[in-house]
Amino acid sequence: MQPVWIWDGNSLTGWVSTHLANPKVDDLRASPSMSLTYWNPEQDNCSADCDVDFVTAELELSAAWDRFKATPEPAGFDPAIHPDWETSTSPIFGVLELHPLWLRLMPGTLMTAGQGEVLTWRRP
């Protein structure tokens, strides 16, 4: 899972595609929150705890489809590569909108050399 993130100057929003027949969808409907962690080989990592909304409006699904296609890899991709998604109106094409509660960035140098600092952002 690789969300596409947009910072509008005031808030950070992420979008991620999902297969609506996936069991995780039921879990997210019951408890609409998720945590994500990014890591790279230099040991830098970033964690985010997010509230989750399901995108249901046809116009918003289409906008998300286009956003996925327009974003460079690795986050961006053409959703039509999925065998069950021909267009944004495919019945099992889903989009989750992510609203971070907080982000934490820890540079790998803190762990490997004791240098650097943990940065934390919290939603106002």
77-111 pLDDT per residue, tens: 999 999 999 999 999 999 999 999 999 999 999 98
Domains (ranges, CATH) in the chain? 4-122 (2.30.110.10)
CA distance 26 to 95: 14
Q: Kindly report the pTM of this predicted structure.
A: 0.89
